[in-house]
Amino acid sequence: MKLNIKNMVCSRCLKVLRQELEQLGIKVSSIELGVLVIDEMAGNHTEIMAKIESVLHTNKFEIIHSPEEVLVEKIKHFLLCKIEEPPLDSTVNLSQILSTEFNHEYKSLSKLFSHLENTTLEKYFIKLKIEKVKQLIQLRQYTFSEIGHLLDYSSVNHLSRQFKEITGESMTEYKNAELANRRPYDEIS
């Protein structure tokens, strides 16, 4: 049985989900970001699905039912993977990358994404980039200029303005703060 899952954003999500399902005696055939495959099991299908949904709900995941939701989740996973592997490629627009990757016109992808996520693709991607900036600042391995370059900002000033607009604080304030306020990727909207 193949289930499309919303909000799976990292390898820890996969590990936790696999462990918790197998502890309940549910055999996971395969698992990857956004997709869970369960071996067909003897027993009451309704009870098994209730157990699976309980584990998913406890971990803030949910089953995706429509093809449109599956496509949007795939877009989100694709963008997450792009962010996790800097440097970003400035030679190709986000719209071109997504159109090519998903074999749809960008306009239709953007409209669908906005409809289901209540934000635009561009705003979502910017928020992902800002969370990556926060992570890179915390690592203290890069200067602000290097971070800007890694994430394809035209200048450190552009990055600084966008960071302040999204977070309400400057990058220096964030770097010097006692507590780093990062959001999990699955909570970005």
For residues 136 and 150, the answer to whether their CB atoms sit within 8 Å is yes
pLDDT number for residue 55:
94
Regarding whether 76 and 61 lie in a shared domain, the answer is no
Is the bond preceding residue 87 a cis peptide, omega within 30 degrees?
A: yes
Q: Looking at the structure, tell me whether residues 124 and 140 fall in a common domain.
A: yes
* 159 shares a domain with 85: yes
- pLDDT at position 189 over 80: no
Q: Residues 36, 2: contact at Cβ < 8 Å?
A: yes
pLDDT for 97 equals: 93
Distance CA 136, CA 130 (A): 10
Domain count, the chain: 2
Of 65, 98, 117, the position where a domain reaches its end is 65
pLDDT in tens, 111-163: 999 999 999 999 999 999 999 999 999 999 999 999 999 999 999 999 999 99
pLDDT digits (tens, 9 = 90+) for 22-53: 999 899 999 998 899 998 777 788 888 999 99
Angle of helix 45-58 relative to helix 11-23, nearest 10 degrees, comes to: 140
Please indicate, yes or no, whether residues 77 and 143 belong to a single structural domain of this protein: yes
Same domain, 143 and 160: yes
pLDDT at position 89? 76
Taking the C-alpha atoms of residue 36 and residue 30, their distance in angstroms, rounded to an integer, is: 6
Domain holding 162: CATH number?
Answer: 1.10.10.60
Confidence of residue 12 (pLDDT cuts 50, 70, 90): confident
Average pLDDT over the chain, rounded to an integer: 91
Q: Please say if the pLDDT value at position 183 is more than 90.
A: no
pLDDT the model gives residue 157: 96
pLDDT in tens, 91-110: 788 899 999 999 999 999 99
Q: Does 72 share its domain with 45? A: no
**Contact assessment for residue 142 and residue 136, using Cβ atoms and an 8 Å cutoff:** yes
CB 162 within 8 A of CB 168: no
35 is in which domain, residue-wise?
2-65
What is the number of other CB atoms lying within 10 angstroms of the CB of residue 33?
A: 19
Cβ neighbour number for residue 175 with a 10 Å cutoff? 14
Q: Are residues 175 and 83 in the same domain?
A: yes
Q: In the listed set 65, 82, 107, which residue is the last one of a domain according to the structure?
A: 65
Is the model's pLDDT at 180 over the cut of 90?
A: no
